[in-house]
Amino acid sequence: MALDLQKISGLPISFDLKSLKLEFQGDFPFIKKSERSLDELRPYLKNPEAKNGPDPVYYVWRYVHLKNDDKKIKTHNLRYDITLIPPGKVDGEFVKTAGHYHLPYPEIFEILYGRAYFLIQSFDNNPENIKSVLLIEAGSGEKLLIPAGYGHNVINVFNEPLLTANWVSDKAVYDYESYKNNHGASYYFLDNGNLIDIVKNPNYDSVPEIKKIRAKKDPLPLYSLINNLDELRFLNYPEEFEGEWRNW
């Protein structure tokens, strides 16, 4: 069964729920597709020696945009990506992205299909001492902002595929080292039958309690901002919008 994502994404894309394949049906220029294998994800897992789990674990398509929008996007130094995280577990840990920090640019996400847990964390001077942890649950059509300087990863704890899309500065550099050195984010999401165990990662020196919040519903697809990319100026110049752009 192929699901038409045109209405929710703003792009001529369909998603085959059986084969878990994306079909780009419009006039798209180069799209960079990558896969995160189980071996690549091992340093970020609770059990790096885990033998069982999906492989690849998740997929990313970068520079997704229509050919007519190519010049506009490049002029604004932006990038639109799509990530697919199929359902599954690795030795009892729910599948997730590796996790990284954004320095110094923010990133804005929306859910195209499924439901997601975004685990967002920050630190002061030492990445081993986590200052704050937010858990944001987001469903189809909902949007959220990852502020500059925060780390995040995405977890799929549900028995359905998860598709996310995001806008980010093309100048953004991802810092994976803290997540890699500590075998993941500040919390693990583990399968406990019909329950989800959320447990602190003991590899960090200190981890505060989680604050849970909901993402925001917005009927307009993020890609529709292609018609007014100045709305996304904060992705390249967050210092100009301090205290304002956080309201996304």
- Within-domain flag for 195: yes
- Within-domain flag for 104: yes
**Spatial separation of the C-alpha atoms in residues 155 and 161, rounded to whole Å:** 11
pTM of the complete model: 0.95
pLDDT 10s digits, 145-161: 999 999 999 999 999 99
CA-to-CA separations, 136 to 7, 125, 127, in angstroms, rounded:
24, 24, 21
pLDDT 10s digits, 45-58: 999 999 889 999 99
Kindly tell me if the per-residue pLDDT of 248 is higher than 90: no
- Within-domain flag for 214: yes
Kindly tell me if the per-residue pLDDT of 247 is higher than 60: no
- Within-domain flag for 23: no
- Within-domain flag for 245: no
Domain holding 127, by residue range, is: 34-237
Backbone angles phi, psi at 227, to 5 degrees: -85, -10
- Within-domain flag for 15: no
* Total count of domains within the chain: 1
Strand 13-16 with 21-24, pairing: antiparallel
Kindly tell me if the per-residue pLDDT of 246 is higher than 50: no
Q: Cβ distance 67 to 207 under 8 Å?
A: no
Here the CATH number for the domain that contains residue 190 is 2.60.120.10
pLDDT 10s digits, 103-118: 889 999 999 999 999 9
pLDDT of residue 245: 47
* Percentage, residues of the chain above pLDDT 70: 98
- Within-domain flag for 119: yes
**Spatial separation of the C-alpha atoms in residues 145 and 117, rounded to whole Å:** 13
- Within-domain flag for 25: no
